[in-house]
Amino acid sequence: MTPAQLTPEKTYRDLWMLWFAFVVSIGMYYFVATTLPAGSPDANSPLVLPMFGIAILELSASVFCRMRFGSRAGQLRSLMTVRTGYIIAFVLSEAVAISGLILYFVARWPRYWIFFLLGCAGLLLNVPRREDLKQPRV
């Protein structure tokens, strides 16, 4: 897409569609986890704590990317830059939910759904904001 075709309204609409698709995909992960058997649960899996650490890093990186690539007072960002920041933030938030799916199938951890909630929380922190796209761009 050329920059001439990229408008703030179109970018905002596209970001909302992507955000909704990521939220639905986390719901699909939960559906898959509840319908497919995983075997006997292992509450003491050694994989849980490292995955929690990675999930927290991914959530903080998602917020950082959105803020870093987004508009800030005194600094102008192009629409492509803002859009890229949001997409990276969405992907990092969904990676947390994928970690929960991995824990469900590999480690058989019974509280895998916590990662799905963390992924949804990351997406809620990175909801597209119109004011990020309304400022004059270079």
Residue 133 vs residue 11, higher pLDDT: 11
106: confidence class by pLDDT, cuts 50, 70, 90? confident
**Number of C-beta neighbours around residue 56 at 10 A:** 12
Residue 17 · residue 9 · CB < 8 Å: no
Residue 135 vs residue 6, higher pLDDT: 6
pLDDT at 71: 63
pLDDT at 136: 52
pLDDT tens-digit series, residues 22-79:
999 999 999 999 898 867 777 788 888 999 999 999 999 999 988 888 766 666 778 8
pTM for this entry: 0.85
**Cβ within 8 Å of residue 70, ≥6 positions away:** 77, 82, 85, 86, 132
pLDDT tens-digit series, residues 78-101:
888 888 999 999 999 999 999 999
Counting every residue written for the chain, the total comes to: 138
pLDDT at 81: 85
Q: Is the pLDDT of residue 116 over 60?
A: yes
pLDDT at 2: 58
pLDDT at 137: 46
129, HSE (Cβ side, Cα atoms, 13 Å): 13
